[in-house]
Chains A and B, each alone.
Chain A
């Protein structure tokens, strides 16, 4: 098949140009000619099993499926000839005979492909008088509800699992009429992309469990949005009824999220209705919280802030804060004489020069075309699921993907994984650098083994390669050294250095903040006063024990927050209810450096107000200049003006930063943040918290290390770290290297411990 060859075909008398070998249905879709279909999906392999897209092709006696018929020059196609229509209507009749036709009680009713197509191709009376098939429903987890009696066996969900999610969790068992979709052995569907099967299912067989029976499709109003949980910035549709976000769907954007979204982006909305939403301003008085009205809360806040000057106040904001919020926060702090504004709350090593505009290093869509990639300290599949999906696509095309991580991660494609303790990782990264001929610092003393050499060769030989630093690397106590080594590898191999930014606006935040003391400094040398934006002290800091102590010691802590939480109530002095991502307008800069703005689509909960408005009013009350904006668009315009000349730039400076390693002995903690623990909203989405990926705090340790310490699965141990303590259960996990234990951060149970990395001791409780 020659790719560039163009052929001319005729469809229903219309002449169309097409690429030779293209499938007929793609050509007609592009031309706006509608052919009914169920099993065809442009992102999935062709199954040709529903037989709904049968069309007549001249000189062919039988009708052919448009989804599986390649176009050829001179082909004449009739999509609505008597032969084609008879075939399409015939298929429709067959599909309906065993379909329950329970549309009035079906969640898909009103947005069902079968219903839609039946309107055009079905008959009003069924000739089928026999009993209909009934299939027992299966429980496949907290996210997707099944109603398999409605299944039309198109196998889109099966193909989605095999081809996109990369896990064969669903299959079609049984023959003929007895064929049914299921997991074979009863289990849940655990892919981080599993919710997409709800979208690909053309009928009401797979529906959203959190959404089902909550609303009808025609009651919903659709708004555009940007997903706030990772740096992909997936484009989403928010479906709203009576000021409530009822569900989230992907909005197609080929350059960003294609037509998919992660489960985290799809189901986090449930947390918006949490009982813990802060719905009115609150002030701590005599050790107790009192609800106050906005004027009082703002006056109180202004009064506190007015007493402060300069370095006495520091601002710590979630990296999922909007550009507008961060700009005004920065301006507010500047007005008070402080430049301490920080969003890198999960980083502890701030040595070395931070890049001016850290980004992925290449467009998101280009990630699937790399020939090789080395990921350092990244569980990309769970951290940025759709970037993981792009890398998987590259791997399936033959790209060599390698990982250097402190524990073995669960992957859905073949990749090299070098697993070593957090400090051993440095040796691996240095080894790869040395194999590429780089020199300096750790590299000179590094040992090169076969794997290092193989990875080095792959990177060097690749025409398009990426070195990517992930969330685990960013939290590494020697992050600066990892960055320096990664840059050396990139330079020596010709690969592109890139970052896998943690949060929705990590990249944007870097453009606006980080000029004063960093997060580590602000917490190590406590400020007199703090302003917190969108975070929970127990779960959103690299070192929650230290953070809580610093906040408790402060005279005042002003928290702009959407949620109440024990750790906030213990540390804050004022809580100002802030709008959630659906309730405010704002802008995120994603991993690729794309600025994506969104609008508030529902009224904020209770008395909550958009963060930018709260900050603006505070600016006014403090009589500071630069707070005259009437809308978030005006704020954005200012930001655009200030940052007009900023271009993505990952350069770190030529010198390797200080080579002093922070720690080299004892049992090392690996404190990664699980997929459903990344921010306050996700942590409050019950469906997500019920999945297998929502792991609890525990000590994950391999059998060898456990044996040495006399521990076995299920034991309770007292974990001590830096003078802090937690009591946790033991889980034996062969993915953890010797010399290390994985104790996840961001989850209840480990918040009393210190840094995400560091030495720990275990003692049987």
Chain B
């Protein structure tokens, strides 16, 4: 049941080449749509039916997002792919770019056809040089084969696609900051509304989707929305890529159906390193609140189950920690990340992330005060929900999660001015 969608060609030799992709039926869906002139609404309906939810982390239904664009509005519209993949722990889109770039290209062309856009951009994380080169190579192949450019396959439909290498800022993974960055401006999120569907790249209607979401499109259309939906569970259609890392034996990217028990995923990943107990898991990238290991082992990997446990499936970045980890130290590192990556535009995040980091840093270094715990919680509440984008929430949630489940370690640090782990 694994590797059904985005990683389905992993068994091939050099699967990133056009000929290999085509050998598995690649670009057939696009050819079919262009020759049969499939009505765009039919495509959007099929995507809606598949239950595909945004794979970048927010989980917004992809088909619904596409339907917000008024296809017949005059002027340019854009398809933008978010391959910025900056969420700590996440490295799934990198593998799509490296091993299956043509499926992403095909998905983006179909998306362009569906919303009436003739131009697309793939915004690739600045550090992804190798995936960027691979994707660029795939673009050249696709252009040469007539899948990109003017009058694709004689259909009269034009579509051009460019990649754009980012500059290394986490915030540019936020969709509107990403658009600003493509426009050549400082990567700062825009206040929404208006949403990109109405005011996107260069002020034009734009859909912006995650790499995995777009790469899933050709398979969804080939095998049908129902098929995709049935791979997963209620409210979490399809399969999903999980990038699992931490104290495990086989860290890597695994494509499994939604709703697969975490225990199974852990087993696929070779189980815990040195057989140590699973102390804690961050199930959806560093922004997701931590879940204690024993609790996690009873959960399935889908939106609802993880949400019920008080966290988020997010981008599917599973960080597994064993009992050798000090949770204060872990939080210090994560808080430092958000402090460094806050764009600085709006007050609560700019000032709050630094405050959070400094307090956690003090606690970790044995200078914590009892009132700091309450202070931390209060500061997170003053950040969350009051910022322009979700980075503020992302900085607040890990703190809240850690204090909820591992408060004793913080208290130990304050009282004994040293770590509980290894004590």
Q: Which residue of chain B lies nearest to A48 when distances are taken between CB atoms in the complex? A: B191
A47 CA to B381 CA in the complex, in Å? 23
A48 CA to B186 CA in the complex, in Å? 16
Are A128 and B355 touching (Cβ within 8 A)? yes
By a CB distance below 8 angstroms, the chain A residues around B387 are: 51
A653 CA to B343 CA in the complex, in Å? 63
Shortest CB-to-CB span from B372 to chain A, Å, is 9
Bin chain B's interface residue count.
20 to 34
A50 CA to B388 CA in the complex, in Å? 10
Contact of A177 among B171, B339, B348, B386 (CB under 8 A): B339
Are B352 and A94 touching (Cβ within 8 A)? yes
Are B386 and A49 touching (Cβ within 8 A)? no
Are B388 and A176 touching (Cβ within 8 A)? no
Q: Which residue of chain B lies nearest to A152 when distances are taken between CB atoms in the complex? A: B347
* B49 CB-CB contact with A under 8 Å: no
Contact of A175 among B340, B359, B386 (CB under 8 A): B340
Q: Mark A90-102, 1 if CB is under 8 A from B, else 0.
A: 1101110110000
Are A177 and B341 touching (Cβ within 8 A)? no
By a CB distance below 8 angstroms, the chain A residues around B146 are: none
Are A176 and B347 touching (Cβ within 8 A)? no
* B26 CB-CB contact with A under 8 Å: no
Are B386 and A153 touching (Cβ within 8 A)? no
By a CB distance below 8 angstroms, the chain B residues around A62 are: 385-386
Contact of B341 among A52, A54, A127, A176 (CB under 8 A): A176
Q: Mark A631-672, 1 if CB is under 8 A from B, else 0.
A: 000000000000000000000000000000000000000000
Are A179 and B375 touching (Cβ within 8 A)? no
Q: Mark B101-118, 1 if CB is under 8 A from A, else 0.
A: 000000000000000000
* A68 CB-CB contact with B under 8 Å: yes
By a CB distance below 8 angstroms, the chain A residues around B388 are: 48-49
A645 CA to B182 CA in the complex, in Å? 61
By a CB distance below 8 angstroms, the chain A residues around B386 are: 51, 54, 62-63, 87, 90-91
By a CB distance below 8 angstroms, the chain A residues around B339 are: 176-177
A135 CA to B80 CA in the complex, in Å? 37
By a CB distance below 8 angstroms, the chain B residues around A46 are: 191
By a CB distance below 8 angstroms, the chain B residues around A450 are: none
A89 CA to B244 CA in the complex, in Å? 40
Are A94 and B347 touching (Cβ within 8 A)? yes
* B71 CB-CB contact with A under 8 Å: no
Shortest CB-to-CB span from B359 to chain A, Å, is 8
* A172 CB-CB contact with B under 8 Å: yes
A9 CA to B387 CA in the complex, in Å? 25
* A295 CB-CB contact with B under 8 Å: no
Q: Which residue of chain A lies nearest to B361 when distances are taken between CB atoms in the complex? A: A130
Are B342 and A176 touching (Cβ within 8 A)? yes
Are A97 and B355 touching (Cβ within 8 A)? yes
Shortest CB-to-CB span from A86 to chain B, Å, is 8
Q: Known contacts being A49-B388, A62-B385, A130-B355, is A176 close to B344, with CB within 8 Å?
A: yes
By a CB distance below 8 angstroms, the chain B residues around A49 are: 345-347, 388
A178 CA to B359 CA in the complex, in Å? 18
Are B385 and A177 touching (Cβ within 8 A)? no
* A174 CB-CB contact with B under 8 Å: yes
Q: Which residue of chain B lies nearest to A62 when distances are taken between CB atoms in the complex? A: B385
Are B347 and A177 touching (Cβ within 8 A)? no
Q: Mark B178-194, 1 if CB is under 8 A from A, else 0.
A: 00000000100001000
A575 CA to B203 CA in the complex, in Å? 63
State the majority secondary structure of interface residues on B. Answer: helix
Are B344 and A174 touching (Cβ within 8 A)? yes
- How many of A's residues come within 8 Å of B, CB to CB? 34
By a CB distance below 8 angstroms, the chain B residues around A50 are: 346-347
By a CB distance below 8 angstroms, the chain A residues around B345 are: 47, 49, 153, 179
* B351 CB-CB contact with A under 8 Å: yes
A65 CA to B347 CA in the complex, in Å? 12
A49 CA to B358 CA in the complex, in Å? 23
By a CB distance below 8 angstroms, the chain A residues around B346 are: 48-51
CB under 8 Å from chain A, chain B span 372-394: 375, 381-382, 385-388
A178 CA to B342 CA in the complex, in Å? 10
Q: Which residue of chain A lies nearest to B382 when distances are taken between CB atoms in the complex? A: A90
* B353 CB-CB contact with A under 8 Å: yes
A87 CA to B381 CA in the complex, in Å? 10
Are B191 and A95 touching (Cβ within 8 A)? no
Contact of B344 among A52, A68, A178 (CB under 8 A): A178
By a CB distance below 8 angstroms, the chain A residues around B293 are: none
Contact of B348 among A94, A172, A174, A179 (CB under 8 A): A94
Q: Which residue of chain B lies nearest to A89 when distances are taken between CB atoms in the complex? A: B382
Q: Which residue of chain B lies nearest to A133 when distances are taken between CB atoms in the complex? A: B354
Shortest CB-to-CB span from A168 to chain B, Å, is 11
A90 CA to B355 CA in the complex, in Å? 13
Shortest CB-to-CB span from A160 to chain B, Å, is 17
Shortest CB-to-CB span from B151 to chain A, Å, is 34
Q: Mark A288-313, 1 if CB is under 8 A from B, else 0.
A: 00000000000000000000000000
Shortest CB-to-CB span from A63 to chain B, Å, is 6
CB under 8 Å from chain B, chain A span 22-72: 46-52, 54, 61-63, 65, 68
* B98 CB-CB contact with A under 8 Å: no
Are B344 and A177 touching (Cβ within 8 A)? yes
Are B344 and A90 touching (Cβ within 8 A)? no
* B350 CB-CB contact with A under 8 Å: yes
Are A94 and B343 touching (Cβ within 8 A)? no
Q: Mark B309-344, 1 if CB is under 8 A from A, else 0.
A: 000000000000000000000000000000111111
Residue of B353, B387, B388 with highest tally of chain A CB at under 10 A: B388
Are B191 and A52 touching (Cβ within 8 A)? no
Residue of A91, A176, A178 with highest tally of chain B CB at under 10 A: A176
A87 CA to B386 CA in the complex, in Å? 7
Are B354 and A177 touching (Cβ within 8 A)? yes
A87 CA to B344 CA in the complex, in Å? 18
A65 CA to B346 CA in the complex, in Å? 12
* B278 CB-CB contact with A under 8 Å: no
Q: Which residue of chain B lies nearest to A68 when distances are taken between CB atoms in the complex? A: B191
By a CB distance below 8 angstroms, the chain B residues around A175 are: 169, 171, 340-344
Are A98 and B347 touching (Cβ within 8 A)? no
CB under 8 Å from chain A, chain B span 165-207: 169, 171, 186, 191
Q: Known contacts being A63-B385, A94-B352, A127-B375, is A51 close to B358, with CB within 8 Å?
A: no
Q: Known contacts being A51-B387, A63-B385, A127-B375, is A91 close to B344, with CB within 8 Å?
A: no
**Shortest 6 CB-CB contacts between residues of A and residues of B:** A179-B344, A90-B382, A94-B351, A176-B342, A130-B358, A48-B191
Q: Which residues of B contact A (CB under 8 A)?
A: 169, 171, 186, 191, 339-355, 358-359, 362, 375, 381-382, 385-388
16 new A-B contacts, CB < 8 A, other than A54-B386, A179-B350, are A48-B346, A49-B347, A49-B388, A50-B347, A51-B347, A87-B386, A90-B386, A91-B386, A94-B350, A94-B352, A95-B347, A153-B344, A153-B350, A175-B342, A176-B340, A176-B342
17 residue pairs from A and B, CB less than 8 Å apart: A47-B191, A47-B345, A51-B347, A62-B386, A65-B191, A87-B386, A90-B381, A91-B382, A93-B382, A94-B351, A152-B347, A153-B344, A153-B347, A172-B344, A176-B344, A176-B349, A177-B354
